[in-house]
C-alpha cells in the first residue's frame, strides 16, 4: 500500500474519531422533579411540559442532543450541584443557590402566594398574621421567600417529598399554608382533587419568581454553554416560538414586565 493511501486512510479515521468526540461532547443530561409540576415539567405531561420543551428545543438549536431525567427534587438538586448533569430545572434563584450555580434567562415567571383551604379565616397583611401556623414546602424547594418566617418562629415548617402531599395535608387540616406559584398550585390541585374550589389563595403576593435552568459552576464550560443556551432562547422569543409553545401547553404568557421583576 502506498504511503499516500495509508496517510489518507489515517486522516479519514482521525476525522471520524474527532467527529464522534465532538458529538459526544454535544449531548447533555438535564434533570427535573419526578412529581408532575404542570404545566412546566413532568413525565406524564405532553413533551415533558412547557419548560422541558423549551429547554430541549433550545439545546437542539445549539446542535446538541438532550436527555431528561426525572428525580425527586432534592436528588435532582444534588445531581446538578455535583456537575454530574448539565443542569436542573425549573428552579428559582436564591442566595444559597447563586453560590453554586449559574442561571439561565427566566423561562417563566410566576407570582408566589399562600394557598389555604376555601373556608379559612387566615388573613395576610403582615407577617404576624401567620403566627403559630404550619407551612408546607416540599424537600428540594427554595425556602428563601419564607425563610424569615421560619427563622423568626412565626411559622413551623413541614417538608414532605412532593407538592401534592402538601395540598393533601392542607385539605386534611394538618398544615395551614402552602406557598407556591399560582399556576403550579392550581394545576396540582386540579390533578389531585375533585373540587378545586376547596382551596383559595391569599391576596398579598409573597414574591415574583423566575423559573430557570441552573448549571453548576463546576460544570465544564458552564458559562459558554449557558450563553449559547440563552442566545437560542432569545432567538425563540424573537421568532415568536416561545409564545407558540406557551399556547401549545395552554399556558398564558405573563406580561413582559414580570420577567424583569423576577430575581
Same fold flag, 3-109+210-261 and 110-208? yes
Residues 49/37, Cβ–Cβ less than 8 Å: yes
Query: Domain ranges in the chain?
Result: 3-109+210-261, 110-208
Please list, in sequence order, all residues whose beta carbon lies within 8 angstroms of the beta carbon of residue 81, skipping any fewer than 6 positions away: 100, 101, 216
φ, ψ for residue 144, nearest 5 deg: -55, -40
* Alpha-helical segments (H) within the chain: 3-25, 50-61, 73-81, 95-98, 147-151, 163-171, 182-192, 222-239, 241-248, 256-261
Residues 66/30, Cβ–Cβ less than 8 Å: yes
Q: How many residues does the chain have?
A: 263
The CATH code for residues 110-208 is 3.40.190.10
Domain 3-109+210-261 top-level CATH class: alpha beta
Predicted confidence pLDDT, tens digits, the chain (263 residues)? 555 554 455 544 444 444 444 444 689 999 999 988 889 999 999 999 999 999 999 999 999 999 999 999 889 999 999 999 999 999 999 999 999 999 999 999 999 999 999 999 999 999 999 999 999 999 989 999 999 999 999 999 999 999 999 999 999 999 999 999 998 899 899 989 998 889 999 999 999 999 999 999 999 999 999 999 999 999 999 999 999 999 999 999 999 888 888 87
Amino acid at each position: 500500500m502506498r504511503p499516500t493511501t495509508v496517510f489518507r486512510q489515517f486522516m479519514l479515521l482521525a476525522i471520524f474519531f474527532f467527529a464522534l468526540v465532538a458529538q459526544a461532547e454535544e449531548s447533555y443530561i438535564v434533570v427535573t422533579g419526578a412529581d408532575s409540576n404542570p404545566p412546566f415539567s413532568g413525565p406524564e405531561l405532553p413533551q415533558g411540559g412547557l419548560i422541558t420543551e423549551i429547554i430541549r428545543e433550545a439545546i437542539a438549536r445549539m446542535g446538541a442532543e438532550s436527555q431528561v431525567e426525572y428525580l425527586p427534587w432534592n436528588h435532582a438538586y444534588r445531581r446538578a450541584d455535583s456537575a454530574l448533569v448539565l443542569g436542573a430545572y425549573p428552579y428559582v434563584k436564591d442566595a444559597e443557590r447563586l453560590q453554586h450555580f449559574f442561571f439561565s434567562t427566566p423561562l417563566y415567571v410566576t407570582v408566589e402566594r399562600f394557598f389555604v383551604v376555601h373556608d379559612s379565616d387566615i388573613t395576610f397583611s403582615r407577617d404576624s398574621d401567620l403566627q403559630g401556623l404550619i407551612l408546607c414546602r416540599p424537600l428540594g424547594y427554595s425556602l428563601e421567600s419564607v425563610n424569615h418566617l421560619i427563622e423568626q418562629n412565626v411559622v413551623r415548617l413541614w417538608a414532605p417529598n412532593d407538592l401534592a402531599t402538601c395540598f393533601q395535608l392542607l385539605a386534611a387540616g394538618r398544615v395551614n399554608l402552602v406557598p407556591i406559584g399560582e399556576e403550579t398550585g392550581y394545576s396540582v390541585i386540579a390533578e389531585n382533587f375533585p373540587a378545586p374550589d376547596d382551596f383559595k389563595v391569599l391576596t398579598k403576593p409573597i414574591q415574583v419568581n423566575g423559573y430557570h435552568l441552573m448549571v453548576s459552576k463546576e460544570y465544564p464550560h458552564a458559562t459558554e454553554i449557558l450563553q449559547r443556551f440563552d442566545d437560542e432562547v432569545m432567538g425563540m422569543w424573537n421568532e415568536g416560538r416561545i409564545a407558540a409553545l406557551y399556547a401549545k401547553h395552554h399556558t398564558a404568557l405573563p406580561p413582559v414586565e414580570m420577567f424583569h421583576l423576577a430575581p
